[in-house]
Amino acid sequence: MTRTRKQNELRATVLDQLYAKRPISRIDISKETQITPATTGSIINELIKEGLVLELGELNDESVGRKKTLLDIAPRSRYYLGFEISEKQLAIVIADNTGEIAESSIRTYQVEVTGGPSDQEIIRLIQDFLKKNSQYPISAIALGLPGHVNLSESDFIISKNPHWGQINLRTIQEAFDLPVYFANKSHCLTLAERLFSYHPTDSNFIVYHVARGIHCSYMYKGSIYSQDNYLIGEVGHTVINPEGERCPCGKHGCLQVYASESALIDKAAILYRASQTSLLKTLVEDANDIDLTSLMTAYRLGDLGSIELIHTACRYLAISISNLCQLIDSERIYLDGQIFSYPVIAEQVLAQLEQEVPLFPKQKQAEIVIIPYSKYSIARSAVSLCVYHEFLDKKGNL
């Protein structure tokens, strides 16, 4: 069936409401979108016939009149491949159109030791994974990147990290007969939170991602805010201590110097080498073997240097998150990253945020939500790019 451009826009609008506010009824979609009930009903019926939408049943409420029939996105109607490139791993998943992972694989490495992957290596990994899981009809491929992308300006990841210089994104695109999409990994996380999670309202929110760097992405009125301005969201390079250490970016006292994974591990390695009494020496044989888990173990054992590192990181993270609450209108702030999977860090950050004195009476407070950590979260989030471009893109951008 051939649809006009206007019909495609209406269809995308209806599906966007379904993804953002599911479960939802036909009449509520019509009210939210200002599309007539007749047109909304026709589009929904078409989507049900295609297997993209399903009816859950009538809403049980006490209102008078015809009951609302709730609708949801039908799972397993499409399958996509999501891929993550990071300094620690190359993760790959096959997931359906609701973000449910069907197959997964991961290859860990240390970028400082082995260097970054090449585009040919990534292509081979994807090809081998597709061949191994050929029972899934893959509709598209998406990669979550440790940087930004604009193929009209550069074929490579836009980043100061030299390890990504061997990855030609256009070469990856041209290696497959399927559509291949790219986006910054924080933007992927934000889009996936909107499309793959159940929310009663399509509200504004922030995803605050801590890994080797620190970045945030803002979902504003159903779209990622100012993603073409690469400076927006670089909270890791906001100054938290003007008299502090020099950051590789050239400024002094950036948040990233105190609270990123790489900074904490680097500082722990310095403690290991400089202090004869550091408990880290009892946990790993070499400073290069230190990771977040060994640092947190040293913290729990009472290692004074590790305690100072963690307390400083938590204090500065809480200040940064609090500042965002005053600068950006957000219903929720999602904290994402392995660092928040350690209860002592999550509890300290949340406790410090709760202790803050409100500036105004009855002040609106953003809800702070910690996203359960998964080593496949970025790869899974990349799948949301495929969903967006196949079903929801009305203007040709994210």
Which of 3.30.420.40, 3.30.43.10, 3.20.20.60, 3.40.50.2000 would CATH assign to domain 79-197+376-392? 3.30.420.40
Report d(CA 186, CA 191) in Å as an integer: 9
Q: How many CB atoms lie within 10 A of CB 197?
A: 14
Asked if 349 contacts 314 with a C-beta cutoff of 8 angstroms, the reply is yes
Overall CATH class of domain 5-73: mainly alpha
Predicted local distance difference test score (pLDDT) of residue 245? 94
Give the mean pLDDT of 361-387.
Answer: 94
Which pLDDT does position 113 carry in this prediction? 78
Residues in the chain: 398
Question: Would 5-73 and 79-197+376-392 be classified into the same CATH topology?
Answer: no
What's the one-letter identity of residue 251? K
Rounded Cα distance between 292 and 313, Å, is: 13
365 or 318: which leads in pLDDT: 318
Q: Which of 388, 396, 395 is nearest to 16 (CA)?
A: 388
Q: Domain locations in the chain?
A: 5-73, 79-197+376-392, 234-330+338-370
User: pLDDT tens for residues 291-333?
Assistant: 999 999 999 999 999 999 999 999 999 999 999 999 999 999 9
| Tens-digit pLDDT profile for residues 195-240 | 999 987 889 999 999 999 999 999 999 999 988 899 999 999 999 9
pLDDT at 32: 93
Other Cβ atoms less than 10 A from the Cβ of 15: the count is: 22
pTM attached to this predicted model: 0.94
Which phi and psi (to 5°) does residue 216 adopt? -130, 155
Check pLDDT > 60 for residue 397: no
pLDDT at 138: 98
Instruction: For CA atoms 299, 303, 304, 309, give the dihedral sign.
Output: negative
CA–CA dist 240, 75 (Å, integer): 44
Collapsing DSSP to helix, strand or coil, 354 comes out as: helix
Q: What is the pLDDT of residues 145-183, one digit of tens each?
A: 999 999 999 999 999 888 998 999 999 999 999 999 999
Q: Which of 78, 63, 62, 83 is nearest to 19 (CA)?
A: 78
What is the pLDDT at residue 111?
Answer: 82
Cα distance between residue 148 and residue 144, in whole Å:
10
For residues 325 and 209, give the distance between their C-alpha atoms in angstroms, rounded to a whole number.
Answer: 15
pLDDT band at 2 (very low <50, low <70, confident <90, very high): confident
Q: What is the C-alpha separation between 3 and 68, in angstroms, rounded? A: 28
Who contacts 160 (Cβ-Cβ below 8 Å, separation ≥6)?
248, 249
pLDDT at 89 over 90: yes
Q: Is CATH 3.40.50.300 the classification given to domain 234-330+338-370?
A: no
pLDDT at 63 over 80: no
Give whole-number Cα distances, 381 to 41, 195, 278, 375, in Å: 30, 10, 39, 11
Share of the chain above pLDDT 90, in %: 85
Compute the distance between CA of residue 204 and CA of residue 334 in angstroms, rounded to an integer: 11
The total of other beta-carbon atoms located within 10 Å of residue 120's CB is 14
